[in-house]
Structure 1
Amino acid sequence: MELMHSKNKKQKDAGTSTQKYVNVEEVKNDLVVLKNKSLRAIFLVSSINFDLKSADEQEAIIGGYQNFINSLDFPIQIMISSRRLNIEPYLELLEKKRKTQTNELLRLQISEYSNFIKDLTEVSQIMTKQFYLVVPFFPVENLENGFLDRIMNFFNPKQQVEETIEIFETYKNQLWQRVDQISAGLTSLGVRATVLNTEELIELLYSSYNPSVYSNSTIKDLDAMDFE
């Protein structure tokens, strides 16, 4: 019994010690709130096959990207997530289609195609990439609040909560102004982008901190998030 208690305590302590290195305080309102109270909005961004563009198109893309970067007066982060593609769900779908197909020739073609895809993925490790753009907002401390104001807030917690909510809404609105600017800039480049909602942010963070769980990406995941 003592051994089990000791084991559970070690697991709990390990989880607590790990959380100390996670800089995220909470995820809400389609935003990530860090422990220093700064905010993050995250875009899922489509890619452009630059090599297939003509020389003029490539030059236009580079010029547009340069103008986009120069128009920003705040930092951004670009993150690339690479995962090995898991083809099993797609093969299962093909097998269901084959079984329900009444045309014998089509059944044979589906079977041959399924075998081809399976052999191809076994020979070569196909990777999927997803591109993210992180938009930050760093709140500036209100230097006008002196010692007396902090004492008053201590004895009036309701007012403090109301002010905290109001301040969060102010910071959030300022961040969304940046989000709108980023969205317009990416659209002008011919790049599609969508802001991750709260559920998608949690999934992204969980997969980032637990790579062994999300080491593979299934084919159905590629269309899980719609671009608008």
Structure 2
Amino acid sequence: MPNQTLSTQQFVDIKEVKGGVLYLKGGGIRRVLAVGGINFDLKSQEEQEVILHSFQNFLNTLDFSIQIFIHSRKVNVQSYLQKIEERKAEEQNELLKIQIGDYIEFVKTFVRDNPIVTKTFFIVVPYETPKASAPTKGLLGFFKKKPASKAKTDERMEHQKQTFQLGQRVDEVIQGLGGIGVHAQPLEDEEITELFYNLYNPALIEKEDLAIAQSPEAEEQKKNPKEA
């Protein structure tokens, strides 16, 4: 009996990820933005009303749809525990060593019994590419057929046009969110791959060293340390 096992990729409607752009099997393209947050509950009632009104205006200015989704994931504390272990190895005071060891065991036990979950917010910006028309059959199809070099040139120009228009939409979303104090950062190839891997493997813990596991504000400070 032939093996009927199918890979996860066959169930994902993504053809490839290149240059931070998701190319769908159906022809559409997407960009994913990691979005920060604001302490809405700590704002005054007037400030909350201003934020809600500004967000409503932002949505009304868009002439295309967007998708907003929240990804919950387990926090990886291994790197933190590793630093504590290194601190313990450097400590000369035996009493402090014991206390550090007890603290490490406490953190391990607490995380095991009470998984720490953080939420990351994303916005998907779409652009639907025009579907290619069906080829004409018969004699007319022969005359309408383009040379291979011409077809490749047209395809490349159309691809550049589509990615440019998608980029304009991304900039519009980033600027609109920035107007209400929310920072948004486009994900790159590795971050997108990690995101979808964890979406289809929810029991696993994400790697902490990737930008997706950090807030957009923290990632921006890493890129511009002088501004921090």
TM-score (norm 1): 0.79
Q: Provide the rounded CA distance (Å) in 2 between the counterparts of 1:149 and 1:22.
A: 38
Displacement after TM superposition at 1:40 (Å): 0.1
Contact 1:33 1:39 in 2 (8 A): yes
Partner residue of 1:200?
191
Displacement after TM superposition at 1:185 (Å): 0.9
Deviations 1:23-52 (A, max 9, x none): 111111210011121110110111223222
Displacement after TM superposition at 1:141 (Å): 4.3
User: In structure 2, do the counterparts of structure 1 residues 122 and 165 end up closer, same or farther at CA, with 3 Å as the change threshold?
Assistant: same
Contact 1:84 1:125 in 2 (8 A): yes
Partner residue of 2:39?
49
Partner residue of 1:3?
none
What secondary structure sits across from 1:27 in the alignment?
strand
Displacement after TM superposition at 1:193 (Å): 1.3
What secondary structure sits across from 2:6 in the alignment?
helix
Query: Residues 2-151 of structure 1: matches in 2 within 5 Å?
Result: 10=3, 13-15=4-6, 19-102=9-92, 107=97, 110-111=100-101, 113-141=103-131, 147=136, 151=142
Displacement after TM superposition at 1:134 (Å): 0.3
Query: Residues 146-165 of structure 1: matches in 2 within 5 Å?
Result: 147=136, 151=142, 154=145, 156-165=147-156
Deviations 1:105-129 (A, max 9, x none): 7646644543443343244232111
Structure 1 runs, 4 residues or longer, greater than 6 Å off? none
Contact 2:194 2:206 in 1 (8 A): no
Displacement after TM superposition at 1:184 (Å): 0.3
Q: Provide the rounded CA distance (Å) in 1 between the counterparts of 2:179 and 2:54.
A: 8
What secondary structure sits across from 1:82 in the alignment?
strand
Contact 1:192 1:227 in 2 (8 A): no
The sequence identity of aligned pairs, in percent, is: 35
- Alignment RMSD: 3.0
TM-score (norm 2): 0.79
- Judge which range, 202-211 or 114-123, deviates more: 114-123
User: In structure 2, do the counterparts of structure 1 residues 218 and 94 end up closer, same or farther at CA, with 3 Å as the change threshold?
Assistant: farther
Displacement after TM superposition at 1:197 (Å): 1.2
Residues 1:167 and 2:158 aligned together: yes
What secondary structure sits across from 1:173 in the alignment?
helix
Q: Provide the rounded CA distance (Å) in 1 between the counterparts of 2:10 and 2:140.
A: 31
Residues 1:184 and 2:155 aligned together: no
Displacement after TM superposition at 1:155 (Å): 5.7
Contact 2:198 2:206 in 1 (8 A): no
Partner residue of 2:220?
227
User: In structure 2, do the counterparts of structure 1 residues 113 and 191 end up closer, same or farther at CA, with 3 Å as the change threshold?
Assistant: farther
Contact 1:87 1:218 in 2 (8 A): no
Structure 2 gaps of 5+ residues are: 222-228
